[in-house]
Amino acid sequence: MLSKKRTRVVALLFLFAILFLTYRLADIQLISTTSFSKNKVNLIQESVDQRTHRFTINDGRGYFLDRNGELLSTDVTAQVIVFPNLYSSKWPIESIADILDIQTSNFTKKISDLKKPSALSLSEEISIEQMNEINKLEIPGLYAQLVTKRNPTPFANHIIGAVGQDPDLIKRKYEDKLKKGTVTISTKTGKNGMQYTFDPFLISEGETEYIYHVDRQGHPLFGLDVKFRSQSNPLYPLHVKTTLDKKMQETVEKALDAHGVEEGGAVLLDIESNELLSMSSRPLFSSKTIYKHVDHMTSQQIPGSVFKIVTAAAAIEENRIQNEKTYDCNLNIYGEKDERQLGMLNVENSFTQSCNRTFGELANELQKKDTDFMEKYAEKLGLLTHNGWQGEVYHLEAFSHFYKEESGQVYNSKKKESNYKSSLATSQTAIGQLDVKVTPLAVANMMATIARGGISYEVKSAKSVNFANGTELIEFADHKKEDEKLSPYTIMRLQSLLLNVVKNEKGTGHALQSLPFQVAGKSGTAQKGEDQRFNNKWFAGYFPAEKPRFALVIVDLKHDTVNRTIPVFRDIAIEIMKKKIE
């Protein structure tokens, strides 16, 4: 009896196993052929892909141009593409080698080393003429094409960004394209920078490629030729015409590296158009560290004395400055002896020489009248808001030119209001310490606003999105900021103060006097609470001061004993002015 029960149990288990395997097989071959497992794998497509040899000429993703039409994120080169399975003794080896200017033995060896369709590794890039000569031979399995190669760590690293595979994002963001088959779960998407923000316009609508089908053993299927497949819509891929200037970006990158800025960066704006000409952050990210680095130029940093511009603007606007009144700059904000011993200075000279004591006292005077004055004037100068272009573009309600741009702060919202009531806290805040944090992009826009006479705009990093034939799809119009502004008199006084920082022999920017044009600006040094070994060092300014054309901010977040910001500012300014004259 017991034996019969065991037999029945075992039989049932076998039956369930067979039913399960039958269902599984049916699921794979009949039911879920186009959407198998939680990953929604298209089994039919995967089967085809396993028996298809392909060479991608263009991944179909859109690309970036600089303001002058030069490629930024991709390289396009003429290459010779070989399908090694189709190589035969009938190929005119000598003619091919002669066109490519290589030895015949060298050419045949390169082919024998290939295991799949690949571009030939040549010592020199072939010309368009050579490419055309190869194609005239009409050899099955040998083709010459302009191949688009995406740079893994592109030029203008942080601002342009990088791409990578993200199946979850594809399913979440591009479900309709996935269903239509224009994208797959392996289609690359933007991971950061403009690659991410402009991804809806750049994502591939289909690849351009050579494809060839093989059997299980990898041999060519009889009667099938290599086919050329491209996007069905000739208007794609789209491209973004940025506001960046490739030569200026090269100048900025070179200067940062030459002076050893390990952590920090630079922002360069065109004052007239308020367009971004260059932006660079250090350290650079690689394909392996893409998620470990932030763009320091669009994230909060402690500004130090650069923030004195805000305190000075408030004091001028509220009529709290008396030219004859002097402050004891032999003391610091703690009432202790200051190591620089600057003597008794009025407000103008205090700004020029960056005396903390003066601006601490001014802030406390202003605080008695208006406890919110610091935030009010930081807001007027654009330091507390996003400064990058934002707006509605088609169905994208809050489209932004800058990836994860942070806004600034005067006070830490997590702390109690009482933390900022003391005289010392007010003084610390007035000189850009305590909890004050702003982005270098915002500071650059503030400098451009002051240089322009007080008119403020959002910063653009792109001019337009265009179809493949160059026709404009989207133009990004100027966005004038309608925030409450400073009076023309205050702006004029700020311009004078910034100019004296460089013109005055005792000014903190006097090292820039030797330039063949005038610079107006403000230095800043900020102590970093979390790392006492280094300070934040800034120089923010514009040039030429008499007819402003460029706003430039340099930040060194690992400042020790060497002031790198002014030498970097000087080198960039000289080269930029040369390029504009040329």
CA distance 378 to 419: 19
Domain check: are 173 and 250 in the same one?
no
In terms of domains, do 572 and 525 share one?
A: yes
Residue 28 is given by DSSP the state I
pLDDT, tens only, 123-139: 888 999 999 999 999 99
CATH of the domain at 365: 3.40.710.10
What is the rounded average pLDDT for all residues in the chain?
A: 89
Token pair recorded at residue 152: 């893994």
Q: Which domain holds residue 255?
A: 246-581
* Residue 317, both tokens: 């606007």
Q: Do 238 and 251 sit in the same domain of this protein?
A: no
The span from the CA of 379 to the CA of 376, in Å, is 5
Residues 291 and 203 in one domain: no
Distance, in Å, from the CA atom of 483 to the CA atom of 19, rounded to the nearest integer, reads 70
Give residue 550's pLDDT: 98
Looking up residue 145, the CATH number of its domain turns out to be: 3.90.1310
Q: Distance between CA 193 and CA 124 in Å, rounded?
A: 32
Whether residues 463 and 490 fall in one domain: yes
Enzyme catalytic residues: 305
Residue 5 lies in a domain: no
**Tens of pLDDT, residues 501-543:** 999 999 999 999 999 999 999 999 998 766 567 899 999 999 9
Which residue do the tokens 């702003």 mark? 438
Please say which residue of 196, 226, 242 terminates a domain.
242
Q: Please tell me whether residue 537 adopts helix, strand or coil conformation.
A: strand
Side-chain half-sphere of 435: how many Cα atoms within 13 Å? 16
Least confident segment among 149-163, 236-250, 436-450, 497-511: 149-163
Give the tens place of pLDDT for each residue, 462-477.
999 999 999 999 999 9
Q: Hunting for tokens 């490519």 — which residue is that? A: 100
CB 441 within 8 A of CB 298: yes
Q: Are residues 182 and 272 in the same domain?
A: no
* Domain count along the chain: 2
Tell me which of 428 and 155 has the higher pLDDT.
428
Please indicate, yes or no, if residue 390 is contained in any of the structural domains: yes
Domain boundary among 207, 242, 277: 242
**How confident is the model at residue 182, as a pLDDT?**
82
As given in the structure block, the two tokens for residue 474 are 């989207």
Do 212 and 313 lie in one domain? The reply is no
Helix 488-503 with 440-451: angle, nearest 10 deg: 110
What token pair was written down for 524?
A: 């800043």
Kindly report the backbone phi and psi dihedral angles of residue 242, in degrees, each rounded to the nearest multiple of 5, phi listed first. -80, 175
Report d(CA 520, CA 539) in Å as an integer: 10
pLDDT of 44: 45
Assess whether 210 and 258 both reside in one domain: no
- Same-domain pairing of 181 and 301: no
Neighbours of 90 (CB within 10 A): 8
In whole angstroms, what is the distance from residue 120 CA to residue 207 CA? 21
State whether 299 and 228 are in the same domain.
Answer: no
pLDDT surpasses 90 at 264: yes
Neighbour count for residue 238 (Cβ, 10 Å): 20
The pLDDT assigned to 48 comes to 44
* Residue 522 bridge partners (DSSP): 540
pLDDT at 453 over 90: yes
Within-domain flag for 27: no
237: preceding bond cis by omega (within 30 degrees): yes
Supply 400's token pair.
Answer: 């932004």
Backbone torsion region of residue 463, taken as left when φ is above 0, otherwise alpha when ψ lies between -120 and 50, otherwise beta: alpha
CA-based end-to-end distance of the chain: 103
Give me 81's structure tokens.
């593409």
Dihedral sign computed on CA atoms, order 478, 483, 489, 490: negative
Tell whether 14 is covered by a domain. Answer: no
In three-state form (DSSP H/G/I as H, E/B as E, the rest C), the secondary structure along 502-521 is HHCCCCCCHHHCCCCCCCEE
Q: Of the candidates 242, 259, 279, which is a domain's last residue?
A: 242
Amino acid occupying residue 146: L
| Cis geometry, peptide bond prior to residue 283 (ω within 30 degrees of 0) | yes
The confidence score (pLDDT) of residue 49 equals 47
Across the range 152-166, mean pLDDT stands at 84
Same domain, 332 and 203: no
Q: Is 19 a member of any domain?
A: no
Taking the C-alpha atoms of residue 371 and residue 316, their distance in angstroms, rounded to an integer, is 17
23 domain residue, yes or no: no
pLDDT tens profile 28-46: 566 655 554 555 555 444 4
pLDDT tens digits, one per residue of 102-127: 999 998 898 888 888 999 988 888 99
For residue 220, pLDDT over 60 is answered with no
**267 and 140, same structural domain?**
no
